[in-house]
Amino acid sequence: MTQKPALIFDFGGVLLDWNPRYLYHKFFDGDAEAMERFLLEVDFSGWNLEQDKGRPFAQGVAELSTRFPHYAHLIRAYDERWEESIIGPIQPSVDALRPLKDSGCRLYGLTNWSAEKFELARHKFAFLDLFESILVSGAVKLIKPDPRIFKLLLDQIGRPASECVFIDDSAGNVAAACQLGLNAIHFTSPEQMQAELLQMGISYSL
């Protein structure tokens, strides 16, 4: 790279510890198997992905509650108590942002997230202000690993794929980025991320 790269971060699982189970375990009295049966029966992941694609939460809750009226209170809880699904930052990853920015790297976000709920997080986590821009799937109605959302971000930031490093905890998203020519890191831990960035010539100290 002829200049410092653009670093493109996923958020959930890389910078923020998000999992709907953090909320739902409170409803199942420690019965993890019952919680998993609920999540599987309602296809929580598929349902939530539609909000990430831009469907309003009110519509999603109404539609799923109609199909599973006996679970309506649990479905509604995810909308009303969504913030309890994030227990906080993945601190070592977040601590890397300022040194990376100070070294000359430019920081961008690319996240599959409901636009409604992202606004709640935007005001809660000050480190998000370190990013020059953040592309939220729910706002543009495209989700990773669709190549169109990567191309949209590249157009917005004005950098070729070869000058970008994409960091995500999803192997599928990383594979899609690589196919478009981005350098990519499949995030498994802050330490592994730091080691792989170093291999790319990007170093920082905490």
CB 183 within 8 A of CB 6: no
> All domains of the chain, ordered by start, with CATH?
6-17+88-199 (3.40.50.1000), 18-85 (no CATH)
* Host H or E run for residue 127: none
Q: How many residues are listed for the chain in this entry?
A: 206
What radius of gyration, in Å, describes the C-alpha atoms of the chain? 18
pTM: 0.94
Q: What is the pLDDT along the chain (206 residues), one digit of tens a residue?
A: 557 899 999 999 999 999 999 999 999 998 999 999 999 999 999 999 999 999 999 999 999 999 999 999 999 999 999 999 999 999 999 999 999 999 999 999 999 999 999 999 998 999 999 999 999 999 999 999 999 999 999 999 999 999 999 999 999 999 999 999 999 999 999 999 999 999 999 988 87
